[in-house]
Amino acid sequence: MLGSGVREAAAALRLGQLTPTELCQKSLSLIKETSFLNAYITVTEELALKQAAEADKRFQQGKPLGVLDGIPIAIKDNFSTKNIETTCASKMLKGYIPPYNATVVQRLFDQGAVLMGKTNLDEFAMGSGSTDGIFGPVRNPWSYSKQYREKRKHACPDGDENSDWLITGGSSGGSAASVSAGTCYVALGSDTGGSTRNPASHCGIVGLKPTYGLVSRHGLIPLVNSMDVPGILTKCVDDAATVLGVLAGHDPQDSTTIQDHFQPFTLPDVIDVTKLCVGIPKEYHAPGLSSEILALWSKAADLLENAGAKVVEVSMPNTCYSIVCYHVLCTAEVASNMARFDGLEYGHRADVKDSTEAMYSATRREGFNDVVRGRILSGNFFLLKQNYEKYFLKAQKVRRLIADDFVNVFRSGVDVLLTPTTLGDAAPYLEFIQEDNRTRSAQEDVFTQCANMAGVPAVTVPAGLSSRGLPLGLQFIGQAFCEQQLLSVAKWFEKQTDFCLLACHENGHIVKQQKITWSLRHGDLRAHLTSHQFIYIYALYAV
């Protein structure tokens, strides 16, 4: 059977086992079948079929543009897409149609990728659950696994199955769900404090945040300019490396991108970790960390050590200040960035004609939700003249200390850091919304936002299943612009865990199983965990 990776699909297209149009039609069909997940805001069916038809012609002529030619993709709805509505899941931008493509979108199009649609998110990417956008929350495909449903039913026999579903994490939850559910091979997210890695972990896929400046932010509607990075969501590490090779490199329209030419790379099949030094930050034993994640983290460290890698405990003493520091800097930049949305040039405009100021005020009150308004107010407070040095300037100094922690650890000989990605598995929606957005974001970003403040690359890889049958991820953090080393380690780990997405849906029932295999420290013991899951694979063809 054809695998679910980009390279396998690309090979099938080159061999003529299926055409880009057939693949596109299957993807569109699955998007309709999984519409209850609410992963997509806009489905670009007409454009997708047009792009697929163009790819058909190139393959018939034997001139594909690259490995992504004819491959279905999805884009988070905070990236500008020419002639396609871009909303940021906000009333403020509902109906806004950009006149240009974001650089990363254009680079994917230049490689022949087929756009299936724009994906759902928290409003203006402010959240960690993908629950706060105007189009409603995104549902995690794993909510519908047979094993999870059975376990949940035993634990809560009186629960309502229609409301007892799981969040995807956020804010790139729609992109994560679209890949996890098999409606596309690749999705773009944005990552400001973990918004790609968090939902990737909860949805059992790979989420990569590249080094700040390696991938252009031009056309990404900004949240926090100094931390925003386009993120990559795929089913395997090889695919993430492939997409990075397409996206990375200098962009004249983004002055923060690197000037040097980026050389795309292919990850080796055989990876030697015997010369690797892996750091385990002791400060990442955070309050609220589940025992399952802790055990998985320990097993992963043992796995690396048994393979010959050097595993050492390291200290990053300023980690404890990171959440508070992040909150100050994030809201300050949010306040600045959100000032452009005033109803004068584009987006929502309130029907108030008393004065320009009254229209401006009413537009922002109507256009932004409570979360966005709250962050704007907080940011403006921190930026007041009397508060600037006390909060914003001090937070900038703490950020430098946090960045220096990474520099010092890597200078000590550590190659990569191994940490948790999230505190636990995906929370049920009704449980998640019991706490406010700010509290949840502070909890969920604890392991991820430090990498954004330091500008270093990080990737989360599926590592196992929880007792509820839900995916758990672990995070590798690397040195700036050392994505090849980082992804090589991630691929090695991925191969050891054997986390395979092999389930498909038939008439509402799961018909295949997922297997996760661990090589453990002692002897030749291997633990086999099986779980049914609601994952669609839309390219199951005989090879």
Annotated catalytic sites, by residue? 76, 171, 195
The pair of three-digit structure tokens given for residue 474, joined into one six-digit string: 């672990």
Q: Which residues contact 355 (CB under 8 A, 6 or more apart)?
A: none
Residue 355: asked if its preceding bond is cis (omega within 30°), the reply is: no
Residue 492 vs residues 298, 308, 475, 477: alpha-carbon distances, Å: 17, 13, 13, 15
Nearest one of 467, 475, 466, 462 to 502, comparing CA atoms:
462
Q: Give me 444's structure tokens.
A: 């969920």
Phi, psi of 425 (to 5 degrees): -80, 180
Structure tokens at 96: 């806004």
What the block records as the tokens of 407 is: 């520099």
d(CA 150, CA 468): 9
**C-alpha closest to that of 424 among 531, 319, 236, 294:** 294
Q: Which string of b and e fits 345-377 if b means at least 16 CB within 10 Å? A: eebbbbebeeeeeebbbbbbeebbbebbebbbe
Bridge-based pairing state of the strands 277-281 and 310-314: parallel
DSSP lists the bridge partners of residue 42 as 118
Return the residue matching tokens 């009254």.
358
Q: What is the rounded CA–CA span in Å between residue 512 and residue 526?
A: 21
Residue 229 to residue 210: CA distance in whole angstroms: 7
Backbone φ, ψ for residue 531 (5° rounding): -150, 135
Rounded Cα–Cα distance for residues 334 and 329 (Å): 9
CA torsion 473-479-480-484 (nearest 10°) is: -70
Q: Taking the CA atoms of 211, 104, 32 and 195 in sequence, report the sign of the dihedral they define.
A: positive
DSSP assigned state of 498: T
Residue 36 burial by Cβ neighbours in a 10 Å radius (0-12, 13-18, 19+): exposed
Q: Specify the DSSP element, H or E, that contains 496.
A: helix 483-497
Spatial separation of the C-alpha atoms in residues 271 and 285, rounded to whole Å: 29
